[in-house]
Amino acid sequence: MENKKFGLIIIGISVLFSLLLWGFESRLASLSKDSECCGSEACKAHQEHSSLTHAGIAVIFLTLSLGAYILFFDKSQKEIVEKLNENTTLKNKEDKFSLILMGLDDDEKKVLKAVKEQDGITQHTLGIRTNLHKSKLSIIVASLEAKDLIKKEKKGKTNQLFLRIKL
């Protein structure tokens, strides 16, 4: 059930309960007024049930508060849950990527990190970013391609590099 509907139902129940309590209290008050002396049974019943009336008022207040909270603060809860899920997803992606990097040497790590930062990077730009010589970069790219971590696509005279792994 949607939280707004649930909140409205709780508020409706508390309003109904308050009407019942008001009717009960007004009936007891009218009975105690009708009796001539304060020692009558109606007066004693009114005095005995006043603590129940106070408890009923507390329950009404609590249910109204709960209904209002569910009705009005549902949006913030959804945003918090979405942020938590988003952070968990990012953390899982970073953990997976860290595990992949553990099996690589330092130059392969530099190259893979640079490709992750800019998917579709050209091999020339990658060489500038990682400060690796063209021949060494070609060997590393071939090694990462063999490990099925990146894919190389020809684009004119240059190669574009993409992450093949899904994070």
Q: CA 93 to CA 102: how far, in whole Å? A: 14
Task: Assess if residue 97 is contained within a domain.
Answer: no
Task: Assess if residue 108 is contained within a domain.
Answer: yes
Task: Assess if residue 86 is contained within a domain.
Answer: no
Q: What pTM was computed for the model? A: 0.51
User: Do 152 and 107 fall within a single domain?
Assistant: yes
Task: Assess if residue 95 is contained within a domain.
Answer: no
Task: Assess if residue 149 is contained within a domain.
Answer: yes
User: Do 65 and 110 fall within a single domain?
Assistant: no
pLDDT number for residue 54: 80
59-111 per-position pLDDT tens digit: 889 988 888 888 777 666 677 888 888 888 888 888 888 888 888 899 999 99
Q: Which domain holds residue 61?
A: 3-72
Which candidate, 128, 125, 115, places its Cα nearest to that of 161?
115
Task: Assess if residue 94 is contained within a domain.
Answer: no
> What is the total count of domains within the chain?
2
21-36 per-position pLDDT tens digit: 888 888 777 766 665 5
User: Do 110 and 64 fall within a single domain?
Assistant: no
156 torsion bin: left (phi>0), alpha (psi -120 to 50), beta (else): left
pLDDT number for residue 76: 66
Q: Which residues pair with 122 in a beta bridge?
A: 160
Q: Which residues pair with 162 in a beta bridge?
A: 151
Task: Assess if residue 20 is contained within a domain.
Answer: yes
User: Do 22 and 68 fall within a single domain?
Assistant: yes
CATH code assigned at 122: 1.10.10.10
Tokens 């009936």 belong to which residue?
27
Measured at the CA of 33, the angle between CA 27 and CA 38, to 5 degrees, comes to 120
Contact 53, 21 (CB under 8 A): yes
Per DSSP, helices labelled H in the chain are 3-34, 41-72, 74-102, 106-117, 123-130, 134-146
Which candidate, 163, 148, 3, 161, places its Cα nearest to that of 75?
3
Contact 60, 53 (CB under 8 A): no
User: Do 8 and 51 fall within a single domain?
Assistant: yes
Kindly tell me the sign of the dihedral angle through the C-alpha atoms of 21, 22, 24, 28.
Answer: positive
User: Do 7 and 62 fall within a single domain?
Assistant: yes
User: Do 66 and 114 fall within a single domain?
Assistant: no
What is the average per-residue pLDDT within 5-29? Answer: 85
64, with CB counted inside 10 A (0-12, 13-18, 19+), is middle
pLDDT-derived band of residue 2, with 50, 70 and 90 as boundaries? confident
Phi, psi for residue 120 in degrees, rounded to 5: 90, 15
